[in-house]
């Protein structure tokens, strides 16, 4: 069976976390999680003032776009309901238990773990807006 590829996607470059306050989110992702700020630009697009703010893990190309909710043209959904309801992304750590203790000390919400899982040690934490992140310490073989 032949698979037809239409778009020929080359790589994943950005993912989005919907947040309520860009500056608060920037502080969390950089100071608490240790990511680096990559882009921070204000511009106008289709008559709307926007801020393009991205962060990422040092040495890795993938960036997280920190965005306040913006409805798509013609959308009837309430964009405020999008905050904290994003897809769970996996963040690799060397010491999951140590990371959870450090994050607890910062007041970060820990939803579960750390606990042993088939893939290693795992915990789910949430950013200040409730977006979930799975911290994973991979199983060493």
Q: Which residue has the tokens 């994003």?
A: 86
Give CA separation, 5 vs 8, 9, 81, in Å: 6, 9, 34
The shares of helix, strand and coil residues in the chain, as percent rounded to the nearest 5, are 20, 40, 45
pLDDT value for 5: 66
Delimit the domains of the chain by residue range.
Answer: 12-69, 84-141
CA 133 to CA 7: how far, in whole Å?
Answer: 29
Over 90: is that where the pLDDT of 118 sits? no
User: Which alpha helices (DSSP H) does the chain contain, by range?
Assistant: 22-27, 96-105
Return the DSSP state at 60: -
Structure confidence by residue, pLDDT tens digits, 25-74 = 999 999 999 999 999 999 887 788 889 999 999 999 999 999 988 765 55
Provide the pLDDT confidence category of residue 108 given band limits of 50, 70 and 90.
very high
Q: What is the CATH number of domain 84-141?
A: 3.10.180.10
Is the alpha carbon torsion for 134, 139, 140, 141 positive or negative?
Answer: negative
84-141 has the same fold as 12-69: yes
DSSP-assigned letter for residue 27: H
At the fourth CATH level, the homologous superfamily of domain 12-69 is 2,3-Dihydroxybiphenyl 1,2-Dioxygenase, domain 1 (3.10.180.10)
């Amino acid at each position: 069976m032949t698979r037809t590829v239409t778009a020929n996607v080359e790589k994943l470059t950005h993912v989005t976390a919907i947040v309520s306050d860009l500056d608060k989110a920037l502080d969390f992702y950089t100071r608490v999680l240790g990511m680096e700020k990559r882009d921070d630009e204000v511009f106008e697009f289709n008559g709307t003032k926007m801020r393009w703010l991205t962060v990422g893990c040092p040495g890795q190309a993938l960036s997280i776009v920190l965005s306040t909710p913006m409805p798509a043209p013609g959308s009837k959904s309430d964009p405020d309901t999008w905050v904290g309801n994003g897809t769970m992304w996996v963040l690799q750590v060397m010491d999951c238990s140590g990371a959870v203790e450090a994050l607890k000390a910062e007041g970060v919400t820990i939803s579960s773990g750390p606990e042993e899982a088939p893939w290693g040690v795992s915990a789910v934490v949430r950013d200040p807006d409730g977006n979930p992140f799975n911290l994973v310490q991979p199983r060493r073989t």
